[in-house]
């Protein structure tokens, strides 16, 4: 197995290294790190998981009821993907008024 050449890094590798060096300097108090606030209304992965768990015991069951693919929900819950605008609206309505969505989907199936 060939060892990678020391000193040769990809652009991504250099960016990661720079980020860690900046973080270390910030922890030592040498530089001031940027702060970010997360809006409490943001659909975080944990909030998405909470919404899903309140309505279905699994992502497969959630898919059967609300037509969002299980793998897509898993990606949202793990933070690998963000919901698009339409899905975000659906999740927000499901959080507040799940029966309205159920009625709409039942009428759609009739």
User: For residue range 37-79, what is the model confidence (pLDDT) as tens digits?
Assistant: 766 678 999 999 999 999 999 999 999 999 999 999 999 999 9
Report if residue 32 sits inside a domain: no
Look up the domain containing 85 and give its range: 45-109
Report if residue 75 sits inside a domain: yes
Report if residue 79 sits inside a domain: yes
| pLDDT at residue 84 tops 90 | yes
Report if residue 22 sits inside a domain: no
Contact 77, 47 (CB under 8 A): no
Domain count, the chain: 1
Residues 6+ apart with CB under 8 A from 87: 68
Report if residue 68 sits inside a domain: yes
pTM above 0.85, yes or no: no
Report if residue 72 sits inside a domain: yes
CATH code of residue 91: 1.10.260.40
Handedness of CA 33, 38, 39, 40 (dihedral sign): negative
């Amino acid at each position: 197995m060939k060892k990678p050449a020391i000193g040769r890094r990809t652009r991504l590798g250099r960016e990661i290294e720079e980020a860690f060096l900046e973080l270390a300097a910030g922890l030592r108090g040498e530089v001031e790190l940027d702060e970010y606030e997360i809006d409490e209304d943001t659909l975080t992965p944990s909030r998405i998981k909470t919404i899903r768990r309140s309505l279905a015991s699994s992502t497969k069951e959630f898919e059967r009821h609300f037509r969002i693919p299980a793998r897509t929900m898993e990606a949202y819950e793990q933070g690998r993907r963000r919901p698009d605008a339409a899905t975000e609206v659906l999740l927000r309505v499901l959080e507040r008024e799940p029966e309205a969505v159920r009625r709409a989907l039942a009428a759609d199936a009739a």
